[in-house]
Chains A and B, each alone.
Chain A
């Protein structure tokens, strides 16, 4: 199962060869015996779920940390020691998802970062620009090397990084989720460049969450799961289904009611969306209506997203890290602005980027980053819990008594069983799970008509996790509030009535009947398998803003 690809051009010496790599962090075994080879002139796709060990493997191959056991060989020879960064870089370079260029320096400086050509002991500026321009020319990259990198687009910065690797003489590139931050057109241009590199004999390791990309540009594909390579094959010989099965493993997820019997069927476009704009005039739609919203955000933009959450309905939103799941939730909560479209709650328009107005309109918010946004650690449980209702508790002139706050907080603290030394204890002293409960209490104390929750169970232990989900479900059932649950934790979705999957910031598909099939959800987040009944051809057309290309294997 952990063998290298037999059908590849095995005559050539592999550029990179990993043999029996083991790595553990503390008690976690991150990698268990990885064997992998990169051949010149081939592109190997590496896929796997979050936490499967992809990043660890990349770090070891890039010489960032050593393996516990096993060997990395470059061009058939033992890899240079980790301390010899230059030697390593000249053989293999990694382009990370997040840009590693220095924004204040020029393109030429970044291409030759720390290796500036010298003449007589000082930097040879003219020579540096000349050589940088030559690299750009050789590879057909259209960038003026005199520009500062701050003025470049994300795509151009990535090119600078690739150019830096090539200028160092590297013939092997590790691309770590290179399309995560790119627009669709830029992705196509990147693919062109990768094909061009591969054709000229460069070896590429292409790490991606998007299986369709792997099918588009990789000759070979390897699947990593729980620190092991479970599948290695030429791309032409495997199907998407086989890849997904390999990624997920044989045992279906036990945490998302693994019943394969009740297969979810995606909602057909005709049943929602189209008439939305026309309807608002004569009748007010109850609950949340997100109407053709587009938003720019660093952690995932949204493009033309439409969705509804009716009173008492629990709607899950999921997708990959960069798919805009958190952005959608933040937009609805008023924490992030949006650029076009509108968001309505019970027919009332919300103002972009105004959390305070969204609160007054009835949106409760459980933010993603608990430590930064969930509570004020110096202030007490009572004060944090009632922070959203000081206007209710205070008298006309704004004075309010700590006793009133404690009285308002007590029922919630009891209901969510917040363990503390008393309501006067600062929240910073509580355990993570209890801090999260305070954040939840703060969101629901105002009896919101819509609760927006982003990964509410992250970092919470198993017992508290099920309690939190159960409470959210009960609260929505009792109060008739809607719930918009944005999460990448598929097991959170058990409490949802519907699940919407975003891919690259667009509404990709929707599952309407719980229990949701874990495998189908995963393939949907990867941008595959819109429905599991018919083939991909059946559901692809006319779904408005759905990705059109890259659906089918080559």
Chain B
């Protein structure tokens, strides 16, 4: 789209092409300025395309490295495995990216990622499997899971937007509350024996393709299109780019911000549902104790979503998720000792951040 816009711009300036016999100085000066600006803008467009594609060579490199590390790496089953694993994380990354785009941050998405499926599972399964014994229908449970997500997002949004509290500390407090509830409900046990309808999203396949991967791709695509072509999506960029300017332009900034916190938490709950389905249980560790929020932020930032708001897109966020998924998988398949694997993962993520910064350069225009 950008390119189309630029071409229009070029054809808008017929004066430059005309013989400049009668042109006065001012007009010539203006044309010169326009020329310089077109040049600079083309340069900027080039940088922007490079930024979007920045991670592609890194991803190819990782695939090559992975193939050398372990012959099992570049196989259909391993690749679908990666897709399945990365999907749950990816859906949370979509939620976090939305929140980052409005200039906020939400640490409690990992809490929601654990608690929402825990509540749903607890209501479905018999007491013997550490459930409540209420034996709720799995469809109702999934609906409830979404409601839990929406409720958490609403509370966060109201506290941050209407209560004018700091988002960092609100969501940090929230994530601890949620993780505590996750353990409290089931007394620290894991809930298993989940109904098939509940685990389908996380473990089902269509042909050889995991359902979770399809759903994640659909979510990325829909949210990406929404951000690009929907008026609310554009309002998200406006609010994140400049809250005051958006307000002065008559955008309902409070509503947009609260709405994004709600959407982010609902997506985190969906991610949690995928993860629960994948491992066929909801553990007390899921989310907060696994510390997934670091991976979520890392994927978003590696993918070029600015922590300062207003900058980033779903193509970048998706490539960040893929990159992290590959790194994780290669390390799992490699000979790295279990005790060292976290240190190496963290180190690789830091290197990836530096690379993304060098190649793409977050906020070069500022």
Which residues of A from 378 to 436 have beta carbons under 8 Å from B? 378-380, 382-383, 387-388, 390-391, 393-394, 398-403, 406, 419-426, 428-429
Q: In the complex, A436 Cα to B117 Cα: how many Å?
A: 51
Residues of A within 8 A of B311 (CB): 378
Which residues on B sit within 8 Å (CB–CB) of A400? 229-231, 234
Which of A273-281, A365-373, A546-554 sits within the interface? A365-373
The reply to whether B5 and A423 contact each other, CB–CB distance below 8 Å, is yes
- Interface check A266, CB cutoff 8 A: no
In the complex, A356 has a CB within 8 A of chain B: yes
Q: Does A335 contact B (CB under 8 A)?
A: yes
How many positions in chain A have a CB within 8 Å of any CB in the partner chain? 45
> Cβ of B70 < 8 Å from any Cβ of A?
no
* A402 adjacent to B1 (CB under 8 Å): yes
In the assembled complex, the Cα of A390 lies from the Cα of B244 at a distance in Å of 18
CA distance A382 to B231 in the complex (A): 14
Nearest CB in chain A to that of B246: its residue: A376
* Residue of A356, A388, A419, A421 touching B41 (CB-CB under 8 A): A421
Count of CB-CB pairs between chains A and B under 8 Å: 124
Within 8 A of A (CB), among B255-311: 310-311
* Most chain A beta carbons < 10 A, residue from B2, B235, B238, B249: B249
Q: Which residues of B contact A374 (CB under 8 A)?
A: 245, 248
C-alpha gap A333/B1 in the complex (Å): 34
Given contacts A356-B251, A390-B234, contact A376 B1 (CB under 8 A): no
By a CB distance below 8 angstroms, the chain B residues around A399 are 229-231
Number of interface residues of B (CB under 8 A): 39
The 0/1 profile, CB within 8 Å of A marked 1, for residues 208-234 of chain B is 000000000000000000000111101
A338 at the interface (CB under 8 A from B): no
Q: How far is the CA of A15 from the CA of B34 in the complex (A)?
A: 59
Q: Which residues of B contact A373 (CB under 8 A)?
A: 242, 244-245, 247-248
Taking the complex as formed, is B151 at the interface, i.e. its CB lies under 8 A from any CB of chain A?
Answer: no
- Residues 334-381 of A contacting B (Cβ, < 8 Å): 335, 355-356, 358-360, 365, 367, 369, 372-380
B248 and A421 within 8 A (CB): no
For B37, give its contact among A356, A359, A383, A421 (CB under 8 Å): A421
Q: Which of these binds chain A: B7-15, B169-177, B187-195, B198-206?
A: B7-15
- On whether the beta carbons of A424 and B9 are closer than 8 Å, the reply is yes
* A355-B9 CB under 8 A given contacts A378-B241, A402-B1: no
Provide the residues of chain B in CB contact with A359, threshold 8 Å.
Answer: 249-250
Report how far A359 CA is from B249 CA in the complex, Å.
8
B28 sits at the interface (CB 8 A): no
CB pair A387–B37 under 8 Å, yes or no, is: no
The 8 Å CB contact of A375, one of B4, B231, B245, is B245
Minimum CB distance partner of A430 in chain B = B37
CA distance in complex: A61, B231 (Å)? 56
Chain A nearest Cβ from B124, distance in angstroms: 34
Chain B: CB-nearest residue to A330: B248
Take A376-B242, A379-B238, A399-B230 as given contacts and tell me if A367 and B248 are in contact as well, using a CB distance cutoff of 8 Å.
Answer: yes
User: Does residue B162 face the partner (Cβ distance < 8 Å to A)?
Assistant: no
- Determine if B229 and A426 form an interchain contact, defined as CB atoms under 8 angstroms apart: no
In this complex, the member of A377, A422, A426 whose beta carbon has the largest number of chain B beta carbons within 10 angstroms is A422
Q: Closest B-chain residue to A407, C-beta based?
A: B8
Residue ID in chain A nearest B253 by CB atoms: A356
Contact of B40 among A372, A421, A424 (CB under 8 A): A421
Contact of A372 among B10, B37, B244 (CB under 8 A): B244
Given contacts A372-B245, A377-B241, A398-B230, contact A406 B250 (CB under 8 A): no
Task: Say if the beta carbon of B343 comes within 8 Å of chain A.
Answer: no
CB distance from A394 to the nearest CB of B (A): 5
Is residue A442 contacting chain B, with contact meaning CB distance below 8 A?
A: yes
16 further A-B pairs in the complex, CB-CB below 8 A; given A400-B231, A421-B38 = A356-B252, A365-B250, A373-B248, A376-B310, A378-B237, A378-B311, A379-B237, A382-B5, A394-B231, A400-B234, A420-B34, A422-B5, A422-B6, A422-B9, A424-B9, A429-B40
Interface residues of A (CB under 8 A from B): 333, 335, 355-356, 358-360, 365, 367, 369, 372-380, 382-383, 387-388, 390-391, 393-394, 398-403, 406, 419-426, 428-429, 442
Residues on B lying within 8 angstroms of A by beta carbon are: 1-2, 4-6, 8-10, 12, 30, 33-34, 37-38, 40-41, 44, 229-232, 234-235, 237-238, 241-242, 244-252, 310-311, 365
| Interface pairs A-B: 5 shortest CB-CB | A422-B9, A424-B5, A359-B250, A376-B241, A421-B37
